[in-house]
Copies of this chain bind each other. A is one copy, B any other.
């Protein structure tokens, strides 16, 4: 442990930065509404560029809107990003991105939010990274490798789909044109927002996939496990596999008063029976997370037997075999007519379990241990930018507890002492990995 660095990680400065960032898109209820590429999101980025500049960092912006705030290292000082601005006329006229950037020890997360989001989801990871840099500065430490705080674009996915659009485009540039074509509900094109962002923030460009040695994302847990176990630091071993299904029953609408049960083809009933079986199955499988989050029923009238019903199923488990078993149960139920209804299953998404880099997990664990902070190895149930970055370079994640497990909610909260603890672990780990000059 670097004791001087640890003493320089300031709880007060961290709290003030979180507070300052939360003013962008602030809601009256204490939460934030900072949807991707909206004015609050862009203003928050401008604020972060200024804050990083004050810490001696340079900024870069890539073609999908990711923002990179870089503290130079010794090994990289010759290749650090210059102050040359990108042309402001058009995204197409941007100068070729710089190559040969020294690979950075990177951290970061996102600052976009849900419409009724909290002030910590994503934002804390950005603030923790900048506080780590501030502490390194205060301690007078020069690192071998550059250190970077990355503000990934459009993580939430609530305005433009998919979520983690920026991280996905950075990792897989072949998908960039399709991703830039994403549109919000009003028909606004994501690529046009990025072009406007470049005109407003004329920063040097960054080539996709370039300049990263490794990535560590600090994030609130967004679940109840750390709080329940009273452990301050989660070492995230990976992200559990996910399957999204849509299950539909097609029967026949009928009058609720005139149609005896034996004559019905009740789509609601066919769906409810399957749901009940699934809930029962989930009780038998440890760690399985099974959610029926939405259901559509037509015609949806109190006195009409539903002719159509369809519900979504979100399945998560670290073991693909358990997800397979659950899908088999659904498939078996839907393979024959149920209560006179034709059943169909559509798989909307399937993501395998991601395992984070074991060495980076060990580095995080070692830092926490040296600081006397207990840790818990855990899987992430939520998606994060790190899930995608893991395909590009060694990646890991660090969690701090979420009060009541709440997130995507203005009431989202983590005590500042815990946010400070997580930031201390992050700072030590970044230094450990970036090395001293």
Task: Give A residues with C-beta under 8 Å from B.
Answer: 221-225, 228, 240, 242, 244, 253-261, 263, 266, 268-269, 272-273, 275-276, 279, 282-283, 287-295, 297, 300-306, 312, 314, 316, 348, 380-383, 405-409
Chain B residues whose C-beta falls within 8 Å of the C-beta of A260 in the assembled complex? 223-225, 287, 289
- Chain B: which residue is nearest A315 at the CB level? B256
Are the CB atoms of B272 and A290 closer together than 8 Å? no
Are the CB atoms of A293 and B289 closer together than 8 Å? no
Chain B residues whose C-beta falls within 8 Å of the C-beta of A405 in the assembled complex? 254-255, 258-259, 263
Give Cα A305–Cα B312 distance, bound, in whole angstroms.
Answer: 11
Given contacts A258-B381, A294-B297, 5 further A-B contacts (CB under 8 A): A255-B381, A255-B408, A257-B383, A258-B405, A272-B275
Among A257, A259, A266, A300, max chain B CB count under 10 A is at: A257
Give Cα A366–Cα B256 distance, bound, in whole angstroms.
Answer: 31
**A407 with B255, Cβ < 8 A, contacts A263-B224, A301-B294, A302-B244 known:** yes
Among A242, A272, A283, A380, max chain B CB count under 10 A is at: A272
Are the CB atoms of B282 and A293 closer together than 8 Å? no
| Residue in contact with A222 in the complex, picked from B258, B275, B288, CB distance below 8 Å | B258
Supply 24 A–B pairs (Cβ within 8 Å), ascending by A. A223-B254, A225-B258, A253-B409, A254-B405, A255-B382, A255-B407, A256-B291, A257-B316, A258-B380, A258-B382, A258-B405, A258-B407, A260-B289, A266-B291, A268-B275, A268-B292, A268-B293, A272-B292, A273-B276, A276-B276, A291-B302, A291-B304, A293-B302, A293-B306
Are the CB atoms of B300 and A304 closer together than 8 Å? no
- Chain B: which residue is nearest A378 at the CB level? B258
- Nearest first, the 8 A-B pairs at minimum CB distance are A223-B258, A257-B381, A258-B381, A256-B291, A302-B312, A276-B276, A256-B314, A294-B300
Are the CB atoms of B289 and A261 closer together than 8 Å? yes
- Chain B: which residue is nearest A404 at the CB level? B252
Distance in Å from the Cβ of A288 to the closest Cβ of chain B? 7
Distance in Å from the Cβ of A193 to the closest Cβ of chain B? 23
Are the CB atoms of B302 and A297 closer together than 8 Å? no
Are the CB atoms of B293 and A257 closer together than 8 Å? no
Are the CB atoms of B253 and A223 closer together than 8 Å? no
Chain B residues whose C-beta falls within 8 Å of the C-beta of A269 in the assembled complex? 279, 292
- Chain B: which residue is nearest A301 at the CB level? B293
Give Cα A372–Cα B26 distance, bound, in whole angstroms.
Answer: 79
Give Cα A346–Cα B337 distance, bound, in whole angstroms.
Answer: 34
- Chain B: which residue is nearest A242 at the CB level? B257
Give Cα A288–Cα B260 distance, bound, in whole angstroms.
Answer: 8
Chain B residues whose C-beta falls within 8 Å of the C-beta of A279 in the assembled complex? 269, 272-273
Are the CB atoms of B288 and A302 closer together than 8 Å? no
Distance in Å from the Cβ of A346 to the closest Cβ of chain B? 12
Give Cα A392–Cα B268 distance, bound, in whole angstroms.
Answer: 39
Are the CB atoms of B290 and A261 closer together than 8 Å? yes
Give Cα A380–Cα B291 distance, bound, in whole angstroms.
Answer: 40
Are the CB atoms of B292 and A314 closer together than 8 Å? no
- Chain B: which residue is nearest A263 at the CB level? B224
Distance in Å from the Cβ of A214 to the closest Cβ of chain B? 24
Are the CB atoms of A282 and B259 closer together than 8 Å? no
Are the CB atoms of B292 and A259 closer together than 8 Å? no
Chain B residues whose C-beta falls within 8 Å of the C-beta of A283 in the assembled complex? 261
Chain B residues whose C-beta falls within 8 Å of the C-beta of A256 in the assembled complex? 289, 291, 293, 314, 316, 381
| Residue in contact with A295 in the complex, picked from B259, B295, B407, CB distance below 8 Å | B295
Give Cα A242–Cα B255 distance, bound, in whole angstroms.
Answer: 13
Give Cα A283–Cα B269 distance, bound, in whole angstroms.
Answer: 12
Give Cα A316–Cα B405 distance, bound, in whole angstroms.
Answer: 43
Distance in Å from the Cβ of A162 to the closest Cβ of chain B? 13
Distance in Å from the Cβ of A192 to the closest Cβ of chain B? 27
Give Cα A348–Cα B254 distance, bound, in whole angstroms.
Answer: 21
Chain B residues whose C-beta falls within 8 Å of the C-beta of A253 in the assembled complex? 409
- Chain B: which residue is nearest A163 at the CB level? B303
Are the CB atoms of A223 and B255 closer together than 8 Å? yes
Give Cα A380–Cα B224 distance, bound, in whole angstroms.
Answer: 53
Are the CB atoms of A297 and B293 closer together than 8 Å? yes
